[in-house]
Amino acid sequence: MSDDFLFADESDYVEPLVHGSWKILIVDDEPEVHAVTKLALNDFIFQGKNLEFYSAYSGAEAKTLIQQHPDAAVILLDVVMETDDAGLLVASYIREQLRNERVRIILRTGQPGQAPERQVIINYDINDYKSKTELTAQKLFTVIMSSLRSYRDILSLEQSRQGLEKIITASTDLFTAHSMEQFIDGVLQQLTSILGCDENALLVSSSLVAGNIAGDAADPRKLIVFAGQGEFESKEGQPVQDVLAPELMEAFDKALHSKGIVYRDNYLVAYCTSKFTHGSLLYISGLPGVVGENQKRLIELFSQNVQIAYENVQLQHEIEDTQHEIVYRLSEAVEHRSTETGNHVKRVSYICYDLAKAYGLAEDEAEKLMFAAPLHDVGKVGIPDHILNKPAKLQADEWEVMKSHANIGYDILKGSKRSIIQAGAIIARDHHEKWDGSGYPAGKKGTDIHLYGRIVALADVYDALRHRRCYKTAWPLAQVLALIDSESGKQFEPKLVEIFKQRVDKLEAILQKYPDTQK
């Protein structure tokens, strides 16, 4: 046998990439301990992150330090400092007062008799207990490594819990824009947690409305941020070129044109597609290392399904918008029988919404009123043209026929199970009632008149007076204000009149935005 040993040539050492750091708090009243600890762990790297050290030399300083750095991963804590139990008091303060259960606490003591290990382990929520004499450089390396792994796993579990909580919360009302953003944010958080990434993640889309995909959607500079985490948390709605650095834009461009996933040293860009649209991309940064096959399959699954979920919500919005537009257009058709102008019902809707919010109605109630308001005069379909369009004053019998449109509208709409149509029925019935009880069809008085009807009554009269009709010219604003003010407590609720007068500038802006148009 040969006495020669053959050794493979040593490969050149490759400096590991470092992305971020783990915070280590050193609490000890001996400066030498701080220096030796930093020296022993100087080249320590875990999951692409090095160590960032912070020092405290007493229990009081330690309490301040942990308050300033609640994201610390490990605290190396001396027991005996200004008092024999200073370190134990710090441990108790961290767990019981700050409620910080994430940081890993390693007690180090040069006087084990002062704090027996069994008693400390039982009475205090610490994670390890070491005598300074036994804590060699290698053992220090080992205990820091195991503590960081525990801290990483705790963060991963916490992020998963938070992501799951967001998804569960969002699932109760998924088909609204706000809940969809919350849902995607939760899924992003789950994905970054599973991959072991940091908190920077981004979803961008070629459109915020499903189906609105232009021929130039393949240009990544047409993409818009839909959801973000970490540094992208406040970037929703912005063009992606205003958010990303040039090297990231290059990766986005490559993923978009290859319709695949682009992996770089510490981030990835994944293309998201479905049978309806194209052009969405997912960006996640802070990858801890090489992405395994299981993780790649997870990313691919997410890429396929997140776009479908996004589009389902957008399609729901499209259906709702279509329903609202049908209500507007049918209501305008009714108005066109009695006027040469348009946009009356649209103006009344926005005026009602503004007054309802100022009155104190919740957002969902104000929106319901806005969408139902166009139906206020739907009963006019049952009024003959010679009465509806008569430019002269109506005779008594003709006026009785005209007044019947309130009950006709109510009868048309009252059988619906849809909340907006039900609100429309109430409005059609009550919007000609008067605060003093002199209105029609039932002569209701005060708060017996539904609030929807009271608001629409004021909005309808205001808009009608400010515009030309077949029987009148448009009134100047001063004349309209004078009449409405004189009808406070008579035709209109006094509180509404006061709100109206305070907001008349905003209401006039609505009239300017939606002017009448000739047939």
CA contacts within 13 A on the Cβ side of 240: 31
Mean pLDDT value of segment 231-238? 80
Distances (CA, A) of 27 to 141, 147, 224, 360: 17, 16, 47, 55
CATH number, domain containing residue 242: 3.30.450.40
Residue where a domain stops, chosen among 313, 348, 363: 313
Does any domain span residue 34? Answer: yes
Highest mean pLDDT among 180-189, 204-213, 491-500, 510-519: 491-500
Q: What is the mean pLDDT of the chain?
A: 80
Write down the pTM of the prediction. 0.49
292's tokens: 């395994």
Longest dimension (CA), the chain: 128
Domain enclosing residue 109, as ranges:
21-153
Instruction: Specify whether 223 is located in the same domain as 130.
Output: no
> Domain for residue 322, yes or no?
no
324 lies in some domain? no
146: domain CATH number? Answer: 3.40.50.2300
In a domain, 321, yes or no: no
Taking the C-alpha atoms of residue 167 and residue 184, their distance in angstroms, rounded to an integer, is 8
Same domain, 292 and 225: yes
In a domain, 293, yes or no: yes
AA identity, residue 463: D
Residues 282 and 381 in one domain: no
Catalytic residues: 380
Instruction: Based on the fold, state whether residues 351 and 492 are members of the same structural domain.
Output: yes
Check if the beta carbon of residue 101 is closer than 8 Å to that of residue 147: no
Co-location of 363 and 473 in the same domain: yes
* Domain shared by 264 and 387, yes or no: no
Three-state DSSP at 262 gives strand
Range of lowest pLDDT (99-108, 176-185, 272-281, 384-393): 176-185
Residues 249 and 361 both lie in one domain: no
Q: How many domains does the chain have?
A: 3
pLDDT in tens, 356-393: 999 999 999 999 999 899 888 888 888 888 888 788 88
Domain CATH for 401: 1.10.3210.10
| Each residue's pLDDT tens digit, 452-506 | 999 999 999 999 999 887 667 899 999 999 999 999 999 999 999 999 999 999 9
Query: Domain check: are 235 and 129 in the same one?
Result: no
- 353 in any annotated domain: yes
